[in-house]
Structure 1
């Protein structure tokens, strides 16, 4: 600690955990800048999907998850983050500036921090063991504290949601180009490795699962829809923070998760989910598969991330 500011080791450790946040196809669309008394988060628009539209919603969502990861890592290290979201309206890619004040970590912050390296995207079918209602209530509460809502899709609502997810038309050449560029890579520090690319749509599950049909049993995943009451960039950033809180909370109680955002990039499908699942009370930002991993499955490989020097502005990296 130096004059009320974390030392270099603490900052680097927190940022290393921040970049463990999930992003679509592992694009990691974030950049950080460190000044004398602030940490700044930027959207790296060069790493956003061409097919995600002018608002780059999925990339902003990913940056929100990185922001929450960073806040949790700093809190566990003894620093509370005072976040100013979208601090400069003239620069919409400047997503947050963060001031730090000394802080006594809570047990919850320590617990969530320890989950950052354990959380993984699991696209395999989940087991039939029921999720205790209290667990689903807990993830909903954590999302609500960050300005988002969680709707569990059950019965006819689930049928509607799965139908919409399966009804995705050809999203066009832009999306196919993104998929080819960012997925199916053999060994890489970014993008989705070949082993994580969905190979089929499970007849009892939802699009986006991996494996071969002969190897998979029924999928008993619950489906949650994370939504926000507005749909501007601020809401999308907060939705990413809430998504991170949901995923880390689920990991902490032993649940497996998989985030689906790609179908929501198709405006017609997103509107159908807003109307048919969320009753037009919220804008869908992500669909989350959640459940218990099957006891007999192998451990998932750890997804790679770019080195910290690649996501810190060069001058700031040297000054960190």
Structure 2
């Protein structure tokens, strides 16, 4: 490691913390590599289903979640990150360079780093409390820093029907196609996401009947629908989840409804008046694993 003052032990500890990020995929589809100025994020393209994620949206959003977790993890260790997204057009699986500089963490960064370790392992005591307007405002403000819009979805009769139908369609689709990665990556320090223990399940569970029953359901949307927008949506999703954890609210990602083009287009109308593309749904304030 050639970043002055950052040793291999610190880098590995930070990346193992980053690998606790929730993922739409199992195993998580990202890999880290230490570089001269920091660390690099790569997508493991073979670890996702071409049936349920043909355009890599879930893969990119998942990697974006891990990217923000990485930034927060390094901040907690005294390193400020400057993120360069998709730095090499010739290598689309190279999603980000994380350039590191010595800096003390802010109070907010320290709190979010603590939330990484708490989220999904111990349910907040106030998991069933009502989600306040101040909670939503803070989560929305933090999502906006990534150019991502957070919109609350009202549990209308249409939504209560639309989402379970979409999840059922997802659940009965062809099975995920995954391949186990073999061999070694390189002589550099590589930390695949799969090396981290899975301390809570990925959000692919079948709470069909209760998606909109309790808590607050929100959509994350972007003006564009390209790789950078999806990566940023994942970063925003991470900020929302960790902020909710800090504020004592249970939380999780819901991806299945957006896998259906028809449902995604309708949610685009309902949440964003056709102005933005929904990239991920986030549920906050109800007691469930995700």
Relative to the length of structure 2, the TM-score reads 0.83
Maintained 8 Å contact 2:57/2:230: yes
Task: Tell me the C-alpha RMSD between the 2 structures.
Answer: 3.2
| SS at 1:28 equivalent | coil
Q: Match of 1:284?
A: 278
CA distance 1:197–1:141, change in 2 (3 Å): closer
User: 1:161 Cα shift?
Assistant: 3.0
Question: Take 1:262 and 1:197, find their aligned partners in 2: how far apart are those partners?
Answer: 7
Q: Match of 1:170?
A: 169
Maintained 8 Å contact 1:25/1:191: no
User: 1:134 Cα shift?
Assistant: 0.5
Name which of 242, 254, 273 aligns with 2:248: 254
Q: Does 1:46 align with 2:46?
A: yes
Query: CA-to-partner distance for each residue in 1:155-210, whole Å, 9 max, x for gaps?
Result: 64xx433332123263497x43119999xxxxx9569869x8645633xx228xxx
Q: Match of 1:237?
A: 231
User: 1:127 Cα shift?
Assistant: 7.2
Q: Match of 2:62?
A: 62
Maintained 8 Å contact 1:55/1:233: no
CA distance 1:2–1:31, change in 2 (3 Å): closer
Maintained 8 Å contact 1:254/1:292: no
Question: Take 1:193 and 1:248, find their aligned partners in 2: how far apart are those partners?
Answer: 16
Maintained 8 Å contact 1:122/1:256: no
Maintained 8 Å contact 2:3/2:37: no
Any runs of at least 4 consecutive aligned residues in structure 1 with deviations exceeding 4 A, and if so which?
179-182, 188-194
Q: Does 1:225 align with 2:229?
A: no
Question: Take 1:190 and 1:17, find their aligned partners in 2: how far apart are those partners?
Answer: 11
| SS at 1:81 equivalent | strand
Maintained 8 Å contact 2:25/2:59: no
Question: Take 1:52 and 1:286, find their aligned partners in 2: how far apart are those partners?
Answer: 14
| SS at 2:281 equivalent | strand
Question: Take 1:172 and 1:253, find their aligned partners in 2: how far apart are those partners?
Answer: 32
Question: Take 1:65 and 1:58, find their aligned partners in 2: how far apart are those partners?
Answer: 11
CA distance 1:112–1:102, change in 2 (3 Å): same
Question: Take 1:101 and 1:149, find their aligned partners in 2: how far apart are those partners?
Answer: 29
CA distance 1:192–1:291, change in 2 (3 Å): closer
Query: CA-to-partner distance for each residue in 1:248-275, whole Å, 9 max, x for gaps?
Result: 0000000001211122111111111101
Q: Match of 1:268?
A: 262
CA distance 1:148–1:121, change in 2 (3 Å): farther
Work out the number of aligned pairs and report it: 272
